[in-house]
């Protein structure tokens, strides 16, 4: 089992201006491929700190993934310091210089001189191609330790890791037992609540559960050997059974699940938003299967009291809004979110079968974005449940339902 470390560079990571999402992602992906990380370190852009860390790592580990510091600016020192650590000169990589010139030529621009720096690599280093950016990745040995150098831009870093570094490592270390991670997305439960519920399960050897919590979802991860997927599926089914009503999707985010259902049933959808301020339409449309029908989604303002706003009965207002939107747009389905008042909001769904509406209360305060996310998720979940013939009003642990209503079509006035 190789000892692997990640070295993240850059003031902005060291000083926490940006969260090192690359590091979290890398640990996860490596783990799934049977490579576990034994340490991670972060240094800023000071030459000596960087040099010292590279040397220390090279003496104590087998593989090091260095991330960041390959940019054109003078504070990006990684390649230079790598050369110093290996006691090699920097040499101009003609092939990569060519790539850079093409990159800029295609955009009809002269290449800034500062970019030439990005083609200077330690002598003998092997290029790790970056198909989407100007930073050139490379690999080289430093004191018998295999170093991979990667750019900080997440999209570039991830693509290079998956397409080049991982295959390379699997070739170097062919006997690593692969692990797979199955994911189950829940909405409305607390992590400790889930843990208690699942504590009753006797996991087979080599299987373990993990949790990843990010508003508004908690992801339940089942890790297991990659050579018995069938057993893994059985365990996952058991987990799903125990969490049933709060499971929104399996092995795919909820939005992908909704997109799949929309693709299958092809409903036309219209949307009216108060509390979500346009975020609901924006979020749903991140899945290309979903888009508002009939030319318009309404994002209702707050200042002006439309007749609906004046309606004292919040749930009724939101239900009426969904109905009005559906008929104005003559769409199959309409979603609406009502105003948020004292942490309480209503969400409604109007369909050919009838209209569902519910009022929920947040149990704690959230920032503006989180509120839009939570409310949009409830609306999305109603759409998902309707298309999937699931019960419409599950118990959302962290939301208190204060009101709910269903009006079948034949009772709609």
Quick one: DSSP state of residue 202? -
Residue 254 vs residues 104, 266, 283, 347: alpha-carbon distances, Å: 39, 18, 11, 18
Q: Which stretch binds a second copy (CB under 8 A): 137-145, 242-250, 268-276, 319-327?
A: 268-276
Q: How far is the CB of 76 from a second copy (least distance, A)?
A: 9
Shortest reach from residue 407's CB to a second copy, in Å:
25
Q: Are 142 and 79 in contact (CB under 8 A)?
A: no
Please identify, among the stretches 258-266, 279-287, 383-391, 405-413, the one whose residues bind a second copy according to the rule CB under 8 A.
Answer: 279-287
Helix (H) or strand (E) holding 105: helix 94-106
Q: CB of 255: closest distance to a second copy in angstroms?
A: 11
- Cα 377 to Cα 364: distance, rounded to the nearest angstrom: 17
Q: Is 105 in the site for a second copy (CB under 8 A)?
A: no
Q: Choose among 63, 133, 69: nearest CA to 96.
A: 133
The nearer residue to a second copy, 51 or 231, going by C-beta atoms, is: 51
* 206 makes contact with a second copy (CB under 8 A): no
Report the nearest approach of a second copy to the CB of residue 385 (Å): 22
Lookup result for tokens 């290309």 = 288
Contact flag: residue 306 with a second copy (CB under 8 A)? yes
User: Which DSSP string do the residues of 15-68 spell out, in sequence order?
Assistant: TTSS--HHHHHHHHHHHHTT--EEEEEEE-S-HHHHHHHHHHHHHH-SEEEEES
CA atoms within 13 Å, Cβ hemisphere of 261: 22
Residue with tokens 């510091």: 69
Q: Does 277 bind a second copy (CB under 8 A)?
A: yes
Give 112 or 167: the residue with its C-beta nearer to a second copy: 112
Distance (Å, whole) CA 74 – CA 40: 25
Does 21 contact a second copy by CB under 8 A?
A: yes
User: How far from chain centre, in Å, is Cα 23?
Assistant: 14
Residue with Cβ nearer a second copy (240 or 291): 291
Name the nearest CA neighbour of 29 among 162, 135, 142: 162
408 belongs to the binding site for a second copy (CB under 8 A) = no
Q: Measure CA of the first residue to CA of the last residue in the chain; give whole Å.
A: 69
For 338, the 3-state DSSP assignment is: coil
Phi, psi of 185 (to 5 degrees): -95, 125
Q: 383: which residues sit within 8 A by CB, 6+ positions away? A: 258, 261, 269, 333, 335, 349
| By the rule CB under 8 A, 131 interacts with a second copy | no
In angstroms, what is the minimal distance from the CB of 372 to a second copy? 6
Of the candidates 327, 363, 402, 409, which one interacts with a second copy according to CB under 8 A? 363
Where does 90-177 show beta strands of DSSP type E? 90-92, 120-122, 126-128, 137-142, 145-150
Size of residue set near a second copy by CB under 8 A: 88
By CB under 8 A, is residue 88 in contact with a second copy?
no
Interface residues for a second copy in 137-176 (CB under 8 A)? none
Q: Which is nearer to a second copy, 94 or 192 (CB)?
A: 192
With CB under 8 A as the contact rule, the residue among 182, 212, 260, 339 that binds a second copy is 212
Binding-site member from 88, 168, 176, 193 for a second copy (CB under 8 A): 193
Closest approach of a second copy to the CB of residue 223, in Å: 9
Q: Per-residue x/- marks for a second copy, 41-80, CB under 8 A? A: xxxx-x--x--xx--x---x----------xxxxx-----
Minimum distance from residue 369 beta carbon to a second copy (Å) = 6
Q: Is 214 in the site for a second copy (CB under 8 A)?
A: yes
The rounded distance, in Å, linking the Cα atoms of 96 and 130 is 10
Which of 19/144 has CB closer to a second copy? 19
Among 191, 206, 263, 395, binds a second copy (CB under 8 A): 191
| Polymer length in residues for the chain | 413
CB of 260 to a second copy, least distance (A): 17
Give, as ranges, the residues between 1 and 20 that touch a second copy (CB under 8 A). 11-12, 14-20
- The dihedrals phi and psi of 248, each to the nearest 5 degrees, come to -100, -25
By CB under 8 A, residue 120 contacts a second copy: no
Q: Whose Cβ is closer to a second copy: residue 193's or residue 316's?
A: 193
| C-alpha span between 289 and 206 (Å, rounded) | 38
């Amino acid at each position: 089992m190789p000892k692997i470390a990640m070295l993240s560079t850059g003031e902005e990571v060291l000083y926490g201006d940006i969260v090192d999402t690359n590091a979290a992602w890398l640990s996860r992906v490596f783990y799934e491929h049977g490579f576990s990380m034994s340490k991670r370190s972060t240094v800023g852009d000071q030459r000596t700190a960087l040099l010292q860390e590279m040397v220390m790592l090279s003496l104590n580990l087998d593989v090091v993934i260095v991330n960041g510091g390959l940019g054109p600016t003078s504070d990006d020192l990684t390649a230079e310091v790598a050369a110093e650590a290996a006691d090699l000169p920097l040499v101009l990589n003609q092939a990569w210089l060519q790539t850079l010139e093409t990159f800029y030529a295609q955009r009809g621009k002269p290449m800034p001189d500062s970019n030439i720096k990005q083609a200077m690599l330690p002598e003998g280093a092997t290029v790790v191609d970056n198909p989407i950016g100007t930073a050139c990745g490379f690999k080289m040995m430093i004191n018998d330790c295999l170093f991979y150098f990667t750019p900080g831009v997440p999209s570039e870093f991830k693509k290079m890791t998956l397409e080049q570094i991982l295959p390379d490592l699997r070739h170097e270390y062919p006997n690593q037992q692969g692990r797979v991670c199955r994911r189950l997305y829940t909405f409305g439960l607390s992590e400790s609540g889930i843990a208690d519920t699942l504590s009753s399960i006797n996991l087979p050897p080599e299987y373990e559960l993990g949790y990843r919590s990010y508003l508004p979802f908690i992801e339940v991860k089942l890790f297991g050997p990659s050579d018995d997927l069938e057993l893994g599926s059985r365990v996952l089914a058991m987990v799903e059974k125990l969490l049933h009503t709060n499971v929104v999707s399996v092995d795919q985010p909820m939005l992908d699940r909704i997109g799949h259902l929309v693709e299958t049933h092809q409903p036309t959808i219209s949307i009216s938003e108060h509390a979500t301020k346009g975020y609901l339409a924006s979020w749903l449309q991140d899945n290309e299967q979903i888009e508002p029908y009939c030319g318009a989604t309404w994002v209702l303002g707050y200042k002006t009291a439309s007749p609906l706003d004046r309606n004292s009965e919040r749930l009724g207002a939101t239900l009426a809004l969904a109905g009005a939107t559906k008929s104005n747009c003559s769409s199959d389905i309409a979603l609406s979110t009502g105003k948020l008042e004292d942490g309480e909001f209503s969400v409604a769904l109007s369909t050919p079968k009838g209209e569902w509406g519910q009022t929920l209360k947040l149990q704690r305060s959230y920032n503006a974005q989180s509120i839009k996310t939570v409310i949009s998720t409830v609306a999305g979940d109603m759409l998902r449940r309707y298309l999937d013939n699931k019960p419409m009003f599950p118990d959302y642990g962290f939301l208190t339902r204060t009101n709910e209503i269903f009006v079948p079509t034949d009772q709609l006035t």
